[in-house]
Structure 1
Amino acid sequence: MHDTIDSAIKEFILRQKMFFVATAPLAAEGRVNLSPKGLDSLRVLGPRTVAYADLVGSGVETIAHLKENGRIVLMFCAFDGAPKIVRLHGRGESVEPGHADFEPLRREMPDLPGLRSIIRVECDRISDSCGFGVPLYEFIGDRSQLTAYAEKKGPEGLRQYQLDHNAESLDGLPGVELAKP
């Protein structure tokens, strides 16, 4: 357990090429969501605060779950070098365009096409573990399909996609704000 995201944890987190985000609705029959994240999308904003760029995608589970209950965990695994896992448990929020904090946070993020929100997490539990069971992988490069898709769609195409596909979660929870009638 760690009190803060100290310099060693911060360096470890920022070295990872991929991390995982998990959320769940309150309903027992609701679906737990686990999403891999990549690209240069995460920033450490403070000793207990992280944020990542959330790009338009086929689902909106993380946003919907955070709006309902705020529970989130981010997990970082070392796929090369010394074995290690870091988990950041906390309360998250989806900071979407129109939110007072969106523009200041956007300036902290990389310029990625298709940005629909910034997920900000206030960590209440910071822990690491051995990672002995995590396999070794070689990073070859980022995939270009997601950003190329967003560039091809353009702002209006992305907006329409969100209206059609990001209005609510698989369990019917509210999704992105722009998708609300």
Structure 2
Amino acid sequence: MAKFFTEITPELQTFIEDQKIFFVATAVDEGRINLSPKGLADTFRIIDKNKILWLNLTGSGNETAAHLLKNDRMTIMFCSFDGKPLILRLYGNAKIYHERDTEFKQHIELFPEIPGTRQIIEMTVDAVQTSCGYAVPFMDFKEERKQLNSWAEKQGKERIEKYWKEKNVKSIDGLDTEIFGGSQN
């Protein structure tokens, strides 16, 4: 049975911190819903019982950023693939910070230096839901993939920004991501 909480309890925080992957969902009124898997250790922070941060790395799209500019609702889901079955969802409202933003500069020290860092997402959690997870299969964690970091290291900052101009300025539905500030026509 599903249970709702108004905050991230210490027990739920421990569960979150033990997970190797989480999923982020955002949507605007029209267009596609975005659901993205996020991995790489050490890119998720619980600031307090109702606030989280996660480090958004360079990807083939930038849907989360575009969606949050139009509609700040976000859901993050964790599920257990080993041990006790559990699905946990964080519901709330989020803001996106770029390297040019004061908040980015304030929060970046909380994370390790990772090549290709694109944004920091801050979410205010207004509800936490747990459910059984009985149908989630057991899966063994083998290791993190190293390709994204290797690719970003090879690119360097200048080529990463060129990639952003080519792939991350607009969402797949044509919405601005404001990755370089303001509207990108």
Amino acid at match of 1:151: E
- Aligned match of 1:117: 119
Q: How far did residue 125 of structure 1 move?
A: 1.1
Q: In the TM superposition, what are the counterparts of 1:104-143 in structure 2 within 5 Å?
A: 104-143=106-145
Q: How far did residue 110 of structure 1 move?
A: 2.2
Q: How far did residue 126 of structure 1 move?
A: 0.8
- Aligned match of 1:21: 24
Identity over aligned pairs, percent = 40
Question: What are the Cα deviations for residues 96-117 of structure 1, in whole angstroms up to 9, with x where unaligned?
Answer: 1111111121111222110010
RMSD over equivalenced CA pairs, Å: 1.1
Question: What are the Cα deviations for residues 122-142 of structure 1, in whole angstroms up to 9, with x where unaligned?
Answer: 011111111001000000000
Q: In the TM superposition, what are the counterparts of 1:8-157 in structure 2 within 5 Å?
A: 8-27=11-30, 30-40=31-41, 41-157=43-159
Q: Structure 1 stretches of 5 or more lacking a match?
A: none
Determine the C-alpha separation between the residues in 2 that align with 1:128 and 1:103.
33
Normalising by structure 2, we get a TM-score of: 0.94
Determine the C-alpha separation between the residues in 1 that align with 2:112 and 2:33.
28
Amino acid at match of 1:6: T
Which segment drifts farther, 101-110 or 80-89?
A: 101-110
Count matched residues.
179
Q: Following superposition, which runs of at least 4 residues in structure 1 exceed 6 angstroms of deviation? A: none
| Kept in 2: contact 1:79–1:135 (CA 8 A) | yes
| Kept in 1: contact 2:7–2:126 (CA 8 A) | no
Determine the C-alpha separation between the residues in 2 that align with 1:147 and 1:24.
28
Amino acid at match of 2:38: K
- Aligned match of 1:7: 10
Determine the C-alpha separation between the residues in 2 that align with 1:152 and 1:91.
35
Q: How far did residue 144 of structure 1 move?
A: 0.3
Amino acid at match of 1:17: K
* Structure 2 counterpart SS, 1:177: coil
Determine the C-alpha separation between the residues in 2 that align with 1:132 and 1:140.
22
Determine the C-alpha separation between the residues in 2 that align with 1:68 and 1:34.
16
* Structure 2 counterpart SS, 1:57: coil
Determine the C-alpha separation between the residues in 1 that align with 2:78 and 2:179.
29
Normalising by structure 1, we get a TM-score of: 0.96
